[in-house]
Amino acid sequence: MSGWDTPARSYSRLSKPIFTTSGKSCWPATPRPCSIGQRCSVAVQVRDFEEIRVGDELPPLVKEIGMARMMAYGAATWDFVRLHYDADYVRELGFDAPFVDGQMMGGFLTQLTQDWAGPQAFLSKLAFRNRVMAYPGDTLTCRGIVTGLSSSDEGGMVECDLWVENQRKEKVVDPASALIRFPLMAGS
């Protein structure tokens, strides 16, 4: 397999998607980490570019922020900046608590777009600006809406406006945008 035949993320060892009774294709669900210490399964929809419309909303992605998640992110990215884990140090600097690494928001937005787009789509561009700090105990909701569609020989391109808000409805990340490339289905 190569090119568009290869899922953006590997969900299965199968080389082809399975088909549901409605005729939609999807990759079989396999366990993947949902949150620290838990596992879940997710059925991945293969989204058809031809069915996407300007104004479509991406399903919200909710993230509970805790020190364990922040530490795991720091360990995974080798980013051990004390601002993100050392409570005494950040209090000396005048902050209430360690705060979320801004780059973590990029990971959340990538997950939002890729979960919506499916395994055959490719996130071509992601841009975002952090506006408000997020702290342990916050609940962040990532949201998006389709704002543009175009197609070329290389595939269908979907433009999305994205944002992240906390439980107080403050925009933690805004503005943000994504450009996602979809394969054109046979006959398109």
pLDDT digits (tens, 9 = 90+) for 134-176: 999 999 999 999 999 999 888 999 999 999 999 999 999 999 9
Does pLDDT of 87 surpass 70? yes
Query: What's the residue count for the chain?
Result: 188
The pTM for the full model equals: 0.73
- Structural domain boundaries in the chain: 50-182
Which CATH superfamily does the domain covering 50-182 fall into?
Hotdog Thioesterase (3.10.129.10)
